[in-house]
Amino acid sequence: MALTRRNLLKQIEFFSIGYISIPLSRQKPISDLTPEQIEGPFYPLKFPIDDDNDLTWIGNKKNQALGEKIIIAGQVLTRKYQPITSAKVEIWQACSSGRYNHEYDPNNAPIDPNFQGWGQTNTGEDGSYVFKTVKPGGYPVTRSWRRPPHIHFKVTLPNQEELITQLYFSEETTLNERDKILQRIPNNQQSLVITELTRSEKLKIRIGQFNIII
Ligand SMILES: [Fe+2]
């Protein structure tokens, strides 16, 4: 179920993700390097057979993943804003109930058997990537700490340089402000790893942009 590679035209008014267009004005300004964050304990031990960039649908299964489907798209760029081609972008996350498909996840929320949990793609010539996934659930870490919904990212450049980070959602202010991992990032850099989901009426889906500057 791979999404078709979209053609990202930075110089003009719109960029398109397949048949999706997002006005450039909605893109976040690129102002700083993407902060690194811990990998966390739930990077897959076993990778799903279906390893593409659409996590909402596994192979030929009949049912799609539960929860709100979203698109996360952006570019991998150097600090001089040059696109990085053929970078590997991996994401992994909890399903909509907040459970990882990982044997060490202690959360007893129900696992969604139709959610792929991890996926990978390579950036195009313009450094662009796109994933279709579901909005992850938050999950408890301790009695007083609940992790906000977030998506883990691992980016591997052709020269093997790696960046590991996590992406958050602007609408989760309360959990974001209390999250011990997000709050390790200086306040003035947190917006670099927080995306705002914006609804595309045409596509009937919310889209979040995440540019990764390495
Ligand atoms: Fe996590």
- pLDDT of 79-90, one tens digit each? 888 999 999 999
pLDDT digits (tens, 9 = 90+) for 32-60: 899 999 999 999 998 888 899 999 999 88
Q: Ligand 1: distance of its center to the CA of 136 in Å?
A: 9
* Exposure string over 115-139, b if 16+ CB within 10 A, otherwise e: bbbbbbbebbebbbbbbbbbbbbbb
Residues with CB under 5 A from ligand 1 (ion): 40
Is residue 152 annotated as a catalytic residue, yes or no? yes
Domains, the chain, with CATH or none: 30-213 (2.60.130.10)
Q: Can you tell me whether residue 199 is helix, strand or coil?
A: strand
Is residue 139 annotated as a catalytic residue, yes or no? yes
C-alpha span between 11 and 117 (Å, rounded): 34
- Catalytic residue of the set 6, 102, 129, 139: 139
pLDDT digits (tens, 9 = 90+) for 84-125: 999 999 999 999 999 999 999 999 999 999 999 999 999 999
Is residue 168 annotated as a catalytic residue, yes or no? no
- Catalytic residue of the set 99, 152, 168, 206: 152
